[in-house]
Homo-oligomer: A and B are copies of this chain.
Amino acid sequence: METLILSKQDVSKLINMKDAIASVEQAYKAYCSDQVIQPPIVSIDDAEHNGEIDIKTCYSKSEALVSIKCASGYWDNPKRYNMPTLLATIILLDGKNGYPLCIMDGSLITSYRTGAAGGLSARLLAKKDSKKVAVIGAGNQARLQIKAISEVVNIESVSVWDTCKEFMNAYKNDISALLNVSVETCGTSKEAVMDADIIVTTTPSRKMLVMNEWVKSGTHIIAIGADMKGKQEIDPKIFCRSKIYVDSVAQCVERGEIQNAIETGDIEISDIYAELGEVLLGNKEARTNESEVTIFDSTGMGIQDNTLAALIYQKALSSNVGTTIKLL
C-alpha cells in the first residue's frame, strides 16, 4: 500500500479560499454535532530557540479520518535560517485501520483554514452593508483574513496598522494588487479601527491593541491572534457590550482572546453566546440588528485541519497531484 506525499507546492495548486470557507463550515458543524473527537492540544515552548510547537489531533467520526498536525513557529527562522517562521506537517490516517494515507505540508492549510474562519464569521455576523475593514498586524494571516472576508463582504477600503512600517507598506501593495480597494496605512491602531465595520486582529501581542472606546456600535470583531495562554489584543471591556461567538468554548476559555476578559472578571464563561457551529446548524442566532457589537474569538481547531486536509487529499487523488511512497 502507498502513502501520498503532498509538498507545499502541490497543496498550493489545490487550495483556494472558497473551498476553505466551505470546509471550515463543514468542520464547525461537525464539531457541534458530536462528530469530532478532539483531544487537548499538545504544546512545547522552546524558549531557548525562540519557538513553539503545537500538535493538534482530531478524529472525524463521519469521515473516519484522523489528522495529526504538527505546527511550529520559530520567530528567528527568516533571519537565522532563511526559512519561514511558521512550518507545519499533517499526517492523515485512515480512521478505520490507522493507515497513513497522506503526509502533506500543513502551512498553507493552516493559513487558509484560519483565514476562512474569519471570513465565515463575517458572512454570518458582520452587518450586511459592511464596507470598511481594519486590520491590526500586517503579516501573512492579515492577508488571508482579507482574502477570506472579500469572498463574503463587498470591501471598499482597508485600514492597516502594524508596529513595522515596512510590513505595512508591503501589505498595502499586496492587498491593493489583490483586491480593487483602497488601502490606508495608519500611524496608530486607534486610527485604523475608529471608523471600521469589521476589525481583525492578527498579531502575537500580549497586551491590548484595540480599546473599547474606539469601537463603534455595529462593528464585527474577528480576534485571531490570541491562541495561547498569555496572548491578548483586545480591551476586555469590549466583551461586556458584545455578543460573543467562539470556535470552541473549551479552547477559547483556555487559550483564546476571551481568556483575558474572564481573568479580569469582566465576563463569565456563561456570557459566551454561541459556538459558530451552533449558528451554522440553526441552533443559535447570528446578528439580529445593526447596532450590536459582535466578536468572534478563533483559536483554530484540529477539525478545521482535518476537513481541509481531507479535501486537499481527495482533490490530489482525482487530479493526480503529489508523489506516492511505500512507507510500510
Where the two chains meet, the residues of A that have a C-beta atom closer than 8 Å to any C-beta of B are: 1, 5, 7-9, 37, 39-40, 42-44, 46, 48-49, 51, 53, 55, 57, 59, 61, 64, 66, 68, 70, 72-74, 77, 80-81, 83-84, 87, 89, 91, 93, 95-100, 103, 105, 107, 323, 325-328
Task: Please tell me if the beta carbons of A53 and B98 are within 8 angstroms of each other in the complex.
Answer: yes
Task: Please tell me if the beta carbons of B327 and A8 are within 8 angstroms of each other in the complex.
Answer: yes
Minimum Cβ distance to chain B for residue A172 (Å): 28
Q: How far is the CA of A51 from the CA of B93 in the complex (A)?
A: 12
Minimum Cβ distance to chain B for residue A32 (Å): 19
Task: Please tell me if the beta carbons of B91 and A77 are within 8 angstroms of each other in the complex.
Answer: no
Known: A39-B43, A328-B105. A74 touches B55 (CB 8 A): no
Task: Please tell me if the beta carbons of B72 and A44 are within 8 angstroms of each other in the complex.
Answer: no
Known: A8-B327, A57-B44, A325-B5. A49 touches B97 (CB 8 A): yes
A70 neighbours in B (Cβ, 8 Å):
68, 91, 93, 100
Minimum Cβ distance to chain B for residue A228 (Å): 14
Cβ-defined partner of A51 (8 Å) among B49, B83, B97, B107: B97
CB closest residue in chain B, given A1: B83
Q: Which of A9, A55, A64 has the most CB of B within 10 A?
A: A55
Minimum Cβ distance to chain B for residue A15 (Å): 15
Task: Please tell me if the beta carbons of B100 and A77 are within 8 angstroms of each other in the complex.
Answer: no
Chain multiplicity (copies): 2
Q: How far is the CA of A84 from the CA of B105 in the complex (A)?
A: 27
Cβ-defined partner of A99 (8 Å) among B8, B40, B83: B83
CB closest residue in chain B, given A51: B98
Q: Which of A44, A48, A81 has the most CB of B within 10 A?
A: A44
Task: Please tell me if the beta carbons of B57 and A83 are within 8 angstroms of each other in the complex.
Answer: no
Q: How far is the CA of A44 from the CA of B72 in the complex (A)?
A: 23
Q: How far is the CA of A39 from the CA of B98 in the complex (A)?
A: 22
Given contacts A72-B93, A74-B98, A89-B103, 14 further A-B contacts (CB under 8 A): A1-B83, A7-B326, A37-B44, A40-B40, A44-B66, A46-B59, A77-B97, A77-B98, A81-B96, A81-B97, A87-B98, A87-B99, A87-B328, A89-B100
A39 neighbours in B (Cβ, 8 Å):
42-44, 55
List of 7 A-B pairs having minimum Cβ-Cβ separation, nearest first: A72-B98, A39-B42, A87-B98, A74-B97, A68-B70, A89-B100, A74-B98
Task: Please tell me if the beta carbons of B87 and A53 are within 8 angstroms of each other in the complex.
Answer: no
Q: How far is the CA of A46 from the CA of B57 in the complex (A)?
A: 14
Minimum Cβ distance to chain B for residue A109 (Å): 13
Task: Please tell me if the beta carbons of A91 and B93 are within 8 angstroms of each other in the complex.
Answer: no
Task: Please tell me if the beta carbons of A74 and B96 are within 8 angstroms of each other in the complex.
Answer: yes
Known: A43-B39, A46-B95, A93-B72. A57 touches B55 (CB 8 A): yes
A99 neighbours in B (Cβ, 8 Å):
81, 83, 87
Q: How far is the CA of A103 from the CA of B43 in the complex (A)?
A: 20
Q: How far is the CA of A100 from the CA of B69 in the complex (A)?
A: 12
